[in-house]
């Protein structure tokens, strides 16, 4: 079997950032998958499932309601390695195109107060597994060390 593209990225030098993971053609349309890397793989602790789950609920809700981007959002969800999230969007996009959107999304999570959307037994398959305080903590960390000072090295995968 051939190694898939995401396993060919050098995870030993990967920094937090916004990366184009892949682009796929679906009919005449292009779908862009972004790697929203929040943690340095294999060099720092990963996120726990509770904060990642809360982050998923809040970010997906925000993205699907953003007036300028909601029609391009296909999917937002966690990576199995728990070092970040995937964002799938309609369109042939580059990392720099969505820095503002991702910054606003993580500011929303950082500043959120109230009841977590969809955190009820009727709405969610694991509704008890949430941690808002830690979702806010990891969002603030991502903003402060990456999004607010983003550089080319945070937008293009290392070789």
Do the domain assignments include residue 159?
Answer: no
Q: What CATH number does the domain containing 95 carry?
A: 3.30.1360.80
Within a domain: 118: yes
Q: Give the tokens for residue 129.
A: 């597994």
- Banded model confidence at residue 75, pLDDT cuts 50, 70, 90: very high
Q: Which of 43, 45, 20, 46 is nearest to 33 (CA)?
A: 20
Question: 20 lies in a domain?
Answer: yes
Chain segment 46-71, per-residue pLDDT in tens: 999 999 999 999 999 999 999 999 99
Confidence of residue 131 (pLDDT cuts 50, 70, 90): very high
Q: Which residue has the higher pLDDT, 7 or 82?
A: 82
Given a cut of 90, is residue 146 above it in pLDDT?
A: yes
Q: Which of 25, 27, 33 is nearest to 5 (CA)?
A: 33
> What total number of domains does the chain contain?
1
d(CA 98, CA 89): 10
Give the model's confidence band at 8: pLDDT under 50 very low, under 70 low, under 90 confident, else very high. confident
Domain presence at residue 83: yes
Q: Over pLDDT 90: what percentage of the chain?
A: 89
Sole residue written with tokens 């999917």: 75
Q: What is the mean pLDDT of residues 13-19?
A: 95
Q: Which element (helix H / strand E) includes 46?
A: none
Is the Cβ–Cβ distance between 69 and 63 less than 8 Å? yes
158 falls within a domain: no
Query: Can you read off the two tokens belonging to residue 142?
Result: 């991502």
Segments forming the whole domain that contains residue 85: 5-153
Residue 9 predicted with pLDDT over 90 = no
Question: Nearest to residue 62, comparing CAs of 131, 113, 108?
Answer: 108
In a domain, 110, yes or no: yes
pTM exceeding 0.75: yes
How far apart CA 86 and CA 136 sit, in angstroms, is 18
Give 72-78's long-range contacts (Cβ < 8 A, gap of 24+).
74/31, 78/47, 78/52, 78/53
pLDDT surpassing 80 at residue 159? no
């Amino acid at each position: 079997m051939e190694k898939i593209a995401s396993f060919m990225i050098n995870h030993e030098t990967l920094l937090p950032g916004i990366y184009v993971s892949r682009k796929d053609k679906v009919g005449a349309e292009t779908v862009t998958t972004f790697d929203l890397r929040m943690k340095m793989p294999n060099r720092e602790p990963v996120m726990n499932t509770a904060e990642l789950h809360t982050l998923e609920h809040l970010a997906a809700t925000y993205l699907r309601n953003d007036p300028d981007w909601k029609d391009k959002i296909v999917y937002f969800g966690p990576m199995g390695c728990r070092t970040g999230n995937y964002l799938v969007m309609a369109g042939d996009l580059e990392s720099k195109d969505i820095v503002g959107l991702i910054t606003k999304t993580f500011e929303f999570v950082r500043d959120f107060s109230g009841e977590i959307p969809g955190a009820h037994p009727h709405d969610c398959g694991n509704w008890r597994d949430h941690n808002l305080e830690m979702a806010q903590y990891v969002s603030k960390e991502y903003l402060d060390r990456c999004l607010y000072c983003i550089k080319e090295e945070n937008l293009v995968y290392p070789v």
